[in-house]
């Protein structure tokens, strides 16, 4: 979807920008057959499409 992001995504984007991260170039990191969030290092099942801890996802 290329439409306007919801308010949560907008807030997260602003949060990430404030921290100086490039949100377009990050991908999941692999750890023990799970996905690891590059933002907060939380581990997720390989089927996860976004981080349930900080809300990060690799599609933005």
Binding residues (CB under 5 A) for Zn ion: these are 37, 39-40, 42, 51, 53-54, 56
CB of 53 to Zn ion, least distance (A): 4
Q: How far is the CB of 18 from Zn ion (least distance, A)?
A: 16
Query: What residues are paired with 56 via a beta bridge?
Result: none
Q: How far is the CB of 39 from Zn ion (least distance, A)?
A: 4
Residues 34 and 24: their CA atoms lie apart, in Å, by 21
Q: Which is nearer to Zn ion, 11 or 40 (CB)?
A: 40
Residue with tokens 């057959």: 33
Ramachandran class of 44: left when φ > 0, alpha when ψ lies in -120 to 50, beta otherwise: beta
């Amino acid at each position: 979807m290329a439409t306007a992001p919801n308010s949560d995504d907008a807030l997260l984007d602003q949060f990430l920008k404030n921290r100086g991260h490039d949100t377009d170039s990050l991908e999941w990191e692999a750890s023990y057959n799970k996905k690891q969030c590059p933002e907060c290092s939380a581990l997720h099942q390989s089927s996860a499409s976004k981080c349930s801890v900080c809300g990060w996802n690799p599609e933005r």
